[in-house]
Homo-oligomer: A and B are copies of this chain.
Amino acid sequence: MARAAAKKVKPRKRLTGDERRESILEAALGCFLEKGYIATTINDIREASGATTGSIYHFFDGKGALAMALLEDAFAGWSGESAAASEAPEAVIRASTTGLVNWGLKNPELFRFTDEIRTLSATAPEFAGVADTLIEGQGSAASSYSKFVKAKKVKDLPWPVAHSLILGPAYNYLRLATTGRSRVAAKRAAEMLADAAWASVKA
């Protein structure tokens, strides 16, 4: 009845703290992108990263915190892509649209991931507050817009409406593109959407 130990101990590569942290983040991202946040378990991340459960909890406060950390990275990437060449209203607004579209087309799973978290934020307390960041964008966007309004460069629309006109089509397009159905010339789409966005809000 005596039985041999079931699992050989896989000798684990020794990593420094930062490397371990990094490898966990990477693995978590891979899992979240592949199966979605909800369907991913800590165990999945453990297996993918080669870390132990305890290690994961040593570096992060849990699954939610892991997602939040990744979300910040994602958001940074998106922001970078949305930087305008000039401060001119048209440039700024077009860059918002094309930045989102281009970033999303480059990182389709990442877009889906952010979208999932945004949805969950409606009911999951650990993601409360994410909605603002994700949907309102850079926060400063609203105040930029109101400056443009004062300068009579754009229509005096309520910000939610303006936001919807500028980014709504882009989001929608990414959802379509991300769902694997439609396929359309990527570059052109971003421009078409930016054209429309600017046309919709310009004074």
Interface, chain A (partner B; CB < 8 A): 1-3, 5-6, 17-18, 21-22, 25-26, 29, 35-36, 38-39, 59, 64, 69, 73, 112, 115-116, 118-120, 122-126, 131-132, 135-136, 157-161, 163-165, 167-173, 175-179, 181-182, 184-185, 189, 192-193, 196, 199-200
Contacts and interface: CB of A to CB of B under 8 A. Distances in A.
Q: Taking each of A22, A38, A161, A193, which has the highest tally of chain B beta carbons within 10 Å of its own beta carbon?
A: A161
A182 B126 CA distance: 21
How many copies of this protein are present in the complex? 4
Contacts of A39: 1, 123-124
A163 B172 contact: yes
A6 B193 CA distance: 38
Contacts of A73: 1, 3
Given A2-B126, A122-B112, A170 B177 contact: no
